[in-house]
């Protein structure tokens, strides 16, 4: 086919080839699988990648005199601007089948890096893709930050790198239209803590819920307390289901101040506060908090977002940056 996506004789050829390979090597060479193999080659022919699955023994023995299974030839390695070859990564075949269906090369590269470095299962990879993780992270970054996402994945070097918009909590199983309290939301998060940690992102360790501290003979409670080992700082999360108020922001400011002065160690970074709410108000945040406040408001939703809508927002954001 000389590199073309399709050819008139392609389907007939694959059907015949499938039958011959199945007769010689056994299962695993259906026409659809051969189509995936071809697309895999076209997608990764300029990079070095590895397939973590072990091919059938018969297939390995038949290929003894050829290149190592799962690796593309050395001549196919792509060169980075610095002249260095891409670092190889290894994923399962089913993960590659899912990834090659992603048309946007930058988005696909991001999910390759994150799936490999975070040991995502196929189910978790699909969930992160469906939740629009790439778009949600990209929308909170500048142009260089978006390029970095595609080239290196999500790097956490400052508090802003932790943030997403919105946070997607569909795994909690709460009905968007049903009434629920902040304590019920908190309990649902604790019940699904592993999923919530994955949604928060890299480096999070859970410390406590309803963390109590006493100041001036009055008790205060922080909804959720985490520590991020990459930033080496406490991350406090306050949950709000109603309309965000300046009192919510002031309360979080007090929590952050208390942890900075009485809880964190000298070699740890300043505490980060996140008010997770149904509807944030940027104007209220801007007028209430000082510019250097280490406090952020982010929305959450209980359903998977519309990926096409996220993509349109990202495209519009890109046009604004280019102007």
Which residues, including other chains, have CB under 8 Å from residue 295's CB and lie 6 or more apart?
249, 252, 253, 256, 272, 273, 274, 275, 289
Strand 295-301: give its sheet, edge to edge. Answer: 167-168, 295-301, 272-277, 233-240, 218-228, 204-215
* Euclidean distance between the first and the last CA atom of the chain, given in angstroms as a whole number: 41
C-alpha–C-alpha distance, residues 268 and 256, integer Å: 13
The pLDDT of residue 282 is 80
Would you say residue 161 lies in a domain? no
pLDDT of residue 319: 72
Does 186 share its domain with 285?
yes
Angle at CA of residue 279, ends 276 and 284, nearest 5°? 90
In this prediction, residue 63 has a pLDDT band, given cuts at 50, 70 and 90, of very low
193 and 93 part of one domain: no
DSSP conformational letter for 239: E
Which tops the pLDDT comparison, 84 or 21? 21
Q: What is the per-residue pLDDT for 133?
A: 95
Q: Is the CB of residue 244 less than 8 Å from the CB of residue 297?
A: yes
pLDDT digits (tens, 9 = 90+) for 2-37: 566 666 666 678 888 999 999 999 988 998 899 999
- Mean pLDDT across 189-199: 96
Cβ-defined contacts of 128-135 (< 8 Å, 24+): 128/198, 129/98, 129/102, 130/304, 130/307, 131/168, 131/170, 131/199, 131/304, 131/305, 132/168, 132/305, 132/307, 132/310, 133/164, 134/107, 134/110, 135/307, 135/310, 135/311, 135/313, 135/314
Looking at 84, 101, 118, which one is the last position of a domain? Answer: 101
Structure tokens at 321: 């940056």
Q: Whole-angstrom Cα distance, residue 199 to residue 165?
A: 11
User: How many independent structural domains does the chain possess?
Assistant: 2
pLDDT, tens digit, 9 for 90 and up, residues 203-256: 999 999 999 999 888 999 999 999 999 999 999 999 999 888 889 999 999 999
Model confidence pLDDT, tens digit, residues 86-121:
556 789 999 999 999 999 999 999 999 999 999 899
CATH of residue 223's domain is: 3.40.1350.10
**pLDDT tens digits, residue range 276-316?**
999 888 888 888 888 888 999 999 999 998 888 888 888 88
Residues 295, 180 share a domain: yes
- pLDDT score recorded for residue 65: 43
Q: How high does pLDDT run on average in the chain? A: 84
Are 182 and 299 members of one domain? yes
Range of the domain at 184: 167-304
Identify the burial level of 58 via C-beta atoms within 10 angstroms of its C-beta, where 0-12 means exposed, 13-18 middle and 19 or more buried.
Answer: exposed
Task: Answer yes or no: is pLDDT of 269 > 70.
Answer: yes
Out of 54, 77, 101, a domain closes at 101
**Does pLDDT of 170 surpass 60?**
yes
What number of other Cβ atoms are within 10 A of residue 2's Cβ? 4
pLDDT at 71: 44
| pLDDT reported for residue 206 | 98
- Which residue is associated with the tokens 């309990």? 187
Predicted pLDDT of residue 209: 97
Report if residue 321 sits inside a domain: no
Average confidence (pLDDT) over 124-150: 90
Residue 227 falls within a domain, yes or no? yes
Kindly write down the DSSP assignment for every residue of 85-129, as one continuous string.
Answer: BPPP-EE-HHHHHHHTT---HHHHHHHHHHHHHTT--HHHHHHHH
Please identify, among 57, 80, 101, the residue that sits at the C-terminal boundary of a domain. 101
Q: What is the predicted pLDDT for the residue at 249?
A: 93
């Amino acid at each position: 086919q000389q590199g073309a996506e399709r050819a008139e004789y392609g389907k007939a050829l694959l059907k015949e080839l499938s039958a011959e390979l199945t007769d010689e090597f056994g299962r695993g060479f259906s026409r659809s699988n051969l189509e995936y193999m071809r697309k895999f080659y076209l997608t990764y022919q300029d990079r070095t990648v590895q397939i973590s699955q072990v091919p059938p023994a018969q297939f390995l023995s038949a290929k003894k005199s050829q290149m190592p299974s799962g690796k593309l030839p050395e001549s196919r390695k792509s060169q980075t601007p610095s002249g260095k070859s891409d670092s190889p990564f290894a994923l399962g075949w089913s993960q590659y089948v899912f990834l090659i269906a992603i048309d946007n090369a930058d988005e696909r590269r991001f999910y390759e890096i994150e799936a490999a470095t975070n040991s995502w299962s196929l189910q978790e990879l699909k969930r992160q893709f469906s939740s629009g993780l790439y778009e949600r992270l990209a929308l909170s970054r500048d142009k260089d930050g978006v390029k970095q996402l595609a080239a290196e994945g999500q790097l956490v070097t400052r508090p802003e790198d932790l943030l997403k918009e919105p946070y997607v909590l569909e795994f909690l199983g709460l009905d968007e239209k049903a009434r629920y309290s902040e304590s019920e939301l908190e309990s649902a998060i604790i019940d699904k803590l592993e999923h919530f940690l994955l949604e928060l992102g890299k480096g999070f360790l859970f410390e406590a819920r309803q963390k109590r501290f006493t100041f001036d003979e009055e008790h205060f409670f922080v909804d959720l307390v985490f520590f991020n080992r990459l930033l080496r700082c406490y991350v406090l999360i306050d949950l709000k289901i109603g309309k965000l108020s300046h009192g919510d922001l002031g309360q979080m400011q007090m929590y952050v101040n208390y942890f900075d002065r009485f809880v964190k160690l000298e070699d740890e970074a300043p505490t980060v506060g996140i008010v997770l709410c149904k509807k944030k108000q940027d104007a209220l945040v801007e007028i209430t908090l000082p510019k250097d406040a280490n406090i952020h408001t982010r929305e959450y939703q209980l359903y998977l977002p519309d990926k096409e809508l996220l993509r349109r927002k990202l495209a519009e954001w890109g046009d604004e940056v280019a102007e």
